[in-house]
Structure 1
Amino acid sequence: MADATDYPLSLTNCGMEISIASAPERTVTVGQSATEILYSLGLADRVTGTSVWFNPVLPPFAEANEATERIADDDPSFEAVVNKRPDLVAVQYEWHVGPTGSVATREQFHELGINTYIIPADCDTKDNSTGGDGTRTAAFSTDSVYKGITELAQIYDVQDAGETLVADLIDREERAIALANSLDLPDDLSAAFWFSSTDLGVSPFVAGQLGAPGYMMDKLGIRNVIESDEEWPTVGWESIARADPDVLVIASMDRRRFPADDIEAKREFLRSDPVTREMMAVKNDHIIEMDAHAMSATMRTIYGLETLAEALATMAFEE
């Protein structure tokens, strides 16, 4: 049994000192990751509004999520969040609630007496001042996910639930790596992760070296053909085709901000475009679908690691 939280609780969160007077009763989440962590900690009844969704909620929480108001599928307005009268706003991406937040700055919330907590996976080893999706200053580690779970458990005084969740995720992580190690994959196996594109045919958003997909590839002994440290750089298809990755991992999502958000549109483009259809990954159908949310630095990254290892187990590669 973990020690109870001693309030007021002071934490340094993404470079800002926050003080929690008592366990929050009303929380609005800006980001699916924050929502699913709170649900996983048994705190669905404390979540009064959610926003920014990529994929359906994890199946065990479908009923709880149905009962929670979704104030926006994508970015909520500042007013929509404040109108729920939260005592804490839990955030997945700093660019939503941060120095130049698309929803608001942290100070705007704090001036109204509303605390903010940003999941550390989006700011530890990451510089979000570079614009876009930010740039990693060092490789993402699942330690930052476990840190976020542990701190949220402490904020809500549910430390035992936090320890149980972290232990389960560490176990899943280790089993996925063990599966990949048992496959005798080629030493030079390479891959690229395609999240989306503003339009089909234009340079896609692909995973850089140091984000969550980079972590997956590193753990499974796969070389990322994209060498950028940006989280999601845009790279031309001609450059990707020249690198000719053995495997393409493509994001599946409910979001429809861009045409290439549609998984079937991605597949059709890869099969029909004169450049992409010549890639070995396309010719060999070494295309893996993965939840878009798993490609971000989230709890679901461990699930993505499982998806990747299990898919590789079904594929044959020439030595």
Structure 2
Amino acid sequence: MKASTSTELTAVQTPNNSHPATMGRLRSGLFGLVGALGLIAGQAFAEQTEYPLTIENNGVTLQFDGPPERAISLNGHTTELMLSLGLADRMVGTAYLNHPLLEHLEDDYADIPQLSGGTSYPSLEVVLGTDADFTYGRDSAYRDTAVATPERLLEMGINAYAVEGTLVTNATMDHVYQDIRNLGRIFDIQPRAEALIDEIETEIAAVQDAVADVDNTVRVFVYDMGESTAYTTGRALQTHLIELAGGYNVFGDLEETWQMVNWEEVVDRNPDVIVINDYGQTSAESKIRFLLENPALSDVAAIKNEHFVVLPLPAAFEGVRNPSAVRTLAEGFYPEAF
């Protein structure tokens, strides 16, 4: 069985344009140099923040009179991004980490209070109890059924910043870079932000160079979950990551970012490769076995050739794992190029 795997594991998101696992290892040294190199690499592009700073996000105007001192990260991938930017000393809480943290960030993470378990957001009362002045999370965090709306948090004196890629369809790495630059401005750490972007861009460019001369673009189907129907990615960041890896998402034309599709549609679109999103209680091996034993899929090229690529779900969400996602996908699509 041709199943490409990685050492990274699981992560989250739901409703409408969200991944259900979130509702309710880049290589360990890749970003370790960000703090050391930041003052040099980003110097030409970064300027010191002039406060008050105003940022429009998620339909709300956020105003900062100075860098936040008591920040909360509301998702695993946002926690990894903040830690990669060297913001551990500004953080008073984390939440919704339902996957192993990147190893080189574990020491910093251990010193920050965990405000909720790995399958839920903290309540508004818990957030208020930290005296927080800033939160950073997916759009799913900012609902009455989760933490609170951005407007409600603003009334409480908390600037609530949502991951840009979760607010739009057809998210790309540009949205990830926008988040990093905004965090750089908000916390007045622009050199670090630019250095991190440079690291990410360099890693992705190296993969793209490796697959630049492939003869035939592979057709890809993302299997996230489902038995009677399949839950797959449409106009979400994962489709862009597939494209960066030299592939073509056969369901990239869906109206939603995540959507259920019938098995007949999968057969009609006949993917060459099936990407298995790895997270939660159902193992990637179990998902692959289910697909291989599904008689409706017996004529699909990816099933005939047993061509699967296993992708830890956190790598598909906006953050520092995106370069590893592109590499994992590309190495699985075109192993001969590596």
Please classify the TM superposition score into its range, dividing by the shorter chain length: 0.7 to 0.9
Match of 1:206 among 218, 232, 249: 232
Residue 53 of structure 2 is aligned to residue 9 of structure 1: yes
Pairing 1:292–2:313 present: yes
List structure 1 segments (4+ residues) > 4 angstroms apart after TM superposition: none
Aligned mate of 1:177, from 208, 212, 227? 208
- Pair 1:151 & 2:182 matched: yes
Equivalent-residue separation in structure 1 for 2:111 and 2:308 (angstroms): 36
Residue of 148, 162, 166 corresponding to 2:197:
166
The correspondence for 2:278, drawn from 240, 247, 252, is 252
The residue type equivalent to 1:86 in the other structure is: A
* Aligned with 1:215 (options 221, 231, 240): 240
Question: In structure 2, what is the Cα distance between the partners aligned to 1:83 and 1:106?
Answer: 17
Amino acid at match of 1:30: L
Q: Is the 8 A contact 1:94 1:122 kept in 2?
A: yes
CA RMSD of aligned residues (A): 2.1
Which residue, 64, 73, 77 being the options, matches 1:33? 77
105, 119, 122: which one aligns with 2:166: 122
Give 1:231's match in structure 2, choosing from 257, 265, 279.
257
Aligned to 2:127: 81
The amino acid that maps onto 1:238 is E
Match of 1:131 in 2: none
17 and 60 in structure 1: CA distance in 2 versus 1, 3 angstrom threshold: same
1:65 aligns with 2:114: no
Instruction: Give the Cα–Cα distance (whole angstroms) in 1 for the partners of residues 141 and 98 of structure 2.
Output: 15
Which residue of structure 1 aligns with residue 325 of structure 2? 304
In structure 2, stretches of 5+ residues that fail to align are 1-42
Percent identity over the alignment is: 26
Please give the alpha-carbon distance, in whole angstroms, between the structure 2 residues aligned to 1:54 and 1:186. 37
CA shift digits 1:247-287 (9 cap, x unpaired): 0011112x34xxx4x32321221122222354321332210
Residue 216 of structure 2 aligns with an amino acid whose one-letter code is P
* Alpha-carbon distance, 1:228 to partner: 0.6
| TM-score where L is the length of structure 1 | 0.84
**Is 2:147 aligned against 1:103?**
yes
The answer to whether residue 92 in structure 2 is matched with residue 48 in structure 1 is yes
Q: Distance in 2 between matches of 1:167 and 1:78?
A: 36
Asked if 1:191 is matched to 2:236, the reply is no
Gaps of 5+ in 1: 127-135
| Aligned partners of 2:204 and 2:326 also within 8 Å | yes
Q: In the alignment, which of 240, 244, 253 is matched to residue 266 of structure 2?
A: 240
For the 8 Å contact 1:180–1:313, the answer to whether it is kept is yes
Measured at CA, do residues 193 and 186 of structure 1 come closer, stay the same or move farther in structure 2, by a change above 3 Å?
A: same
Relative contact order, higher structure (CA 8 A, sep 6+): 2
Say how many residue pairs are matched.
290
Partner of 1:95, secondary structure, is: helix
2:229 aligned counterpart, secondary structure: coil
Partner SS for 2:147: coil
* In 2, Cα distance between equivalents of 1:27 and 1:72: 18
Q: State the one-letter code of the partner of 2:96.
A: V
TM-score by length of 2: 0.79
> Contact (CA 8 Å) 1:32, 1:51: kept in 2 or not?
yes
In structure 2, the partner of 1:280 is 301
Rounded Cα–Cα distance in structure 2 between residues aligned with 1:206 and 1:297: 17
* Secondary structure in 2 matching 1:249: strand
Contact 1:286 1:315 in 2 (8 A): no
Q: Deviations over 1:53-80 (max 9, x none)?
A: 3532222102222332332212222223
Deviations 1:57-115 (A, max 9, x none): 22210222233233221222222322222111111x213215x6632111221121111
- Name the SS for the 1:116 alignment partner: strand
Q: Is the 8 A contact 2:80 2:319 kept in 1?
A: no
Cα distance change on mapping 1:162 and 1:311 into 2, 3 Å: same
**How far apart are residue 204 of structure 1 and its match?**
2.1
User: CA 1:229 to 1:299, structure 2 compared with 1: closer, same or farther past 3 Å?
Assistant: farther
C-alpha contact 1:30 1:90 (8 A) present in aligned 2? yes
User: What letter is aligned with 1:7?
Assistant: Y
